[in-house]
Amino acid sequence: MIELILPAEAAAEEAFSDPPGVTLFPEEEAVIARAVDKRRREFTTARACARAALARLGFPPVPIVPGLRGAPQWPAGVVGSLTHCAGYRACAVARDQDLRTIGLDAEPHGKLPGGVLAAVASPGERERLTALAAAQPGTHWDRVLFSAKESVYKAWFPLARRWLGFEDVSVTIDPATGTFTARLLVEGPRLDAVILTGFTGRWLVAGGLIITAITVPA
């Protein structure tokens, strides 16, 4: 279902369970050598998704290990993003001549744990969530906002290579179009002489999951 919120330039793969028999490269094994089973399973299936997505772009299997601040290191000429949550793992990649960056996030479609919303949403964002909940009470808008911000961070980081806090971005969700905008409240990096001021993304609620995706055209 992830392809529903990605442009044609992106190659994606998703999994709803952990298939047996996925082999990791030694560099990947080293990353999770001491990880608990849950982490090992999500890491491994995400690598299977990454290799399948990369294969669609014509790339051979390669190790995908975390680099600076956890950002995945892709083969030269590739941008991409990984996500995993209970019951879901996904990867989307693209050639960097097609897309500048990708940010992907998946969350269970449920209310955020107590106290989290206050930490991740501004008073203005919370007001907009209240209006969304009144109009469409079946959707956990607080979680959609959280997921959108996680996607923002993953799209932002490869471009800026620095931290971005939840308070540094203002997200507005459009319930009619399945899109959202993320306005940067801090100065963004320059992309070809133009300063990045924000992102637009798409969101999807289906099968008990919330999935958000951001792509920036090259």
Binding site for ligand COA (CB under 6 A): 43, 46, 66, 69-72, 82-84, 105, 149-150, 152-154, 157, 164-166, 169
Under DSSP, the state recorded for 202 is E
Residue with the two structure tokens 């560099």: 27
Residue 70 CB, shortest distance to ligand COA, in Å, is 3
Residue 158 CB, shortest distance to ligand COA, in Å, is 6
| Residue with Cβ nearer ligand COA (34 or 137) | 34
Q: Report how far residue 84's alpha carbon sits from residue 105's, in angstroms, rounded to the nearest whole number.
A: 8
Closest chain position to ligand COA (CB):
70
Beta-carbon count within 10 A of 198 CB: 17
The tokens describing 193, both together, are 């002489």
| Residue with Cβ nearer ligand COA (10 or 152) | 152
Residue 7 CB, shortest distance to ligand COA, in Å, is 19
Residue with the two structure tokens 């990880």: 35
| Residue with Cβ nearer ligand COA (11 or 82) | 82
Residue 152 CB, shortest distance to ligand COA, in Å, is 4
Phi-psi sector, 134: left (phi>0), alpha (psi -120 to 50), beta:
alpha
* Coil/strand/helix, residue 203: strand
Residue 136 CB, shortest distance to ligand COA, in Å, is 23
Under DSSP, the state recorded for 21 is T
| Residue with Cβ nearer ligand COA (64 or 137) | 64
